[in-house]
Amino acid sequence: MSVWSKRMRPADGAAWVTGASSGIGRAVALRLADEGWTVWATARRADALEALAAERPGKILPLPCDVTDRGGMAAAVAAITAEGPLALAILNAGLYIPLRAQEFDAGKAAKTFDVNLNGVANGLDPVLKHMIARRDGHVAITASVAGYRGLPRAAAYGATKSALITMAEALAFDLIDLDVRISVINPGFVKTEATSVNDFEMPFVIPAEEAAKRIVEGLKKPGFEIAFPRRFEYILKTLGLLPNRAYLAVMRKLMGWDERVK
């Protein structure tokens, strides 16, 4: 069986979801629990994790940790694997800070990089060591369609998501031969606390529960990328084929950016 067809089930071990206190991560944790998984839920906010666990007693286990804490993430995976195999890891924690040229701030960029990119690397390190040693498992990284090409206000956010897509692709070259499946999850606009700061109309926006459904179903199917909504994915991938000047002109028009920058 191809590694791309590998489908992990609750009987194979536990699931781990980072960024589980809100938004997509929270919805994914609940959906996995409803499908029979024992889910270890990680985020910084212990109270939010306790509230989440109370919704699925015995199925969701709170495991507070800051993804930027490399040692803490290693300890979290050690705690999970001390109880049994880790079959599925969804590295989902992320931060969105809108950033435009007029307000570019290196500190905000660094914070975004630390959570979105380094935070994933901090999880990948112990997860891959565990799964490669067992020659089994499935790790999924939540990136974004914002990683395809540059989008307005996403100078730092888009850069991290592009990097995550590249990271997942690079790791896939090795993992194919090590019986460990890797997936990249590229959502479009999802209604969450993070996107609530957007003051523009978000095309094809969907609720977090719908995003979780598409992610969990996508993890069961063969392939590398889970992207949605499909129409938005296809539009952005098609526009991404344009030369730079044409791409920038079209996106400015579509996003109403000619009016916004005045």
- Separation CA 235–CA 254 (nearest Å): 11
Active site residue 157: yes
Catalytic residue, chosen from 96, 148, 157, 247, is 157
Report, as residue numbers or ranges, the catalytic residues.
157
